[in-house]
Chain A
Amino acid sequence: MTFLNYFKSVSTWSADEVREFLREKNPEDFNLIDVRQPGEYEQGHLPGAQLIPVGELDARAKELDPNKPTVTY
């Protein structure tokens, strides 16, 4: 096994796919998380996004409903 075999590529949604998802679903049907820093969030964020900076994710993961899909950016 080579070093690279330890890594799998991750599929991500495009902005258009996220737009479509948000349009089709109700806000209470998903978690929408902004993992950037507070200053970046204040400058602008997706409608309804909850701010959880990446460094706080492990401590605050319990705030997310595990039964709902989660979109992060």
Chain B
Amino acid sequence: MSGGINAWNGLVASGAPEAGIAYFPDDEKPEKVVVLAWLLEEGARRFYKGVEELLEDKKSIRLFKELGAAEVRHKSQLVKLYRELFASGPETSDPFATEELGDVMESGMHISEALDWVKGKGIMEILDYSVAMETNSYDLYIKMERRVKQKELKTVFNSLLNEEKTHLQRLTSLLEERV
């Protein structure tokens, strides 16, 4: 339901950027799926960094800092995986250096639009928004894990989806604390 409980109660929805749902063509190459995962992690890292700079509450800042650091680790895992399975160039080169980063993160949302939206919002709205983002991320890794055939890919995507689930639990715990 658009706007959630606020819309039901007749309140004006605060216009969070529209989220889309991830979709892969059946014949998508596994290396493309890894690249997409890396780009999403980078987008999430940039979003969390931006949110962290807007917050004042120490506990929330710490959580967003840790979430951002986790995305950096996820990116490293994906680079390692890509090098092992798909890259033919020298090991020192960044396999994703030529990828167009753009301004897009999880759910196809624009990072700049999302950060503009969170400016001036309370911690509850920011947490709500971040929960939606992590939920989409968790859902996406489940889809990726199901889609790929190689054992190495399945293992990494399974590890990532479990970490995203942990992030989701941490965000929802903080949200519940602040209700």
Q: Is the CB of B23 within 8 A of A6?
A: yes
Q: Is the CB of B20 within 8 A of A7?
A: yes
Known: A7-B22, A8-B23. A43 touches B8 (CB 8 A): no
Chain A positions within 8 Å of B8 at CB level = 15, 18-19, 46, 73
Whether a CB of chain A sits under 8 angstroms from the CB of B55 is no
Q: Chain B 96-120 against A: per-residue CB contact (8 Å), 1 yes, 0 no?
A: 0000101010011000000000000
Chain B positions within 8 Å of A60 at CB level = none
Question: Which of A3, A19, A54 contacts B131 (CB under 8 A)?
Answer: A54
Q: Tell me the smallest distance from the CB of B44 to a CB of chain A, in Å.
A: 14
Q: Is the CB of B172 within 8 A of A53?
A: yes
Cα A44 to Cα B142 in complex, Å, equals 32
Q: Is the CB of A46 within 8 A of B5?
A: yes
Give the interface residue-count category, chain B: 35 or more
Q: Tell me the smallest distance from the CB of B127 to a CB of chain A, in Å.
A: 9
Q: Is the CB of A3 within 8 A of B104?
A: yes
Whether a CB of chain B sits under 8 angstroms from the CB of A72 is yes
Q: Chain A 31-68 against B: per-residue CB contact (8 Å), 1 yes, 0 no?
A: 00010111110011110000001110010000000000
Chain A positions within 8 Å of B19 at CB level = 10
Chain A positions within 8 Å of B142 at CB level = 58
Whether a CB of chain A sits under 8 angstroms from the CB of B4 is yes
Q: Is the CB of B168 within 8 A of A54?
A: yes
Q: Is the CB of A40 within 8 A of B169?
A: no
Whether a CB of chain A sits under 8 angstroms from the CB of B67 is no
Known: A7-B108, A55-B165, A55-B168. A39 touches B176 (CB 8 A): yes
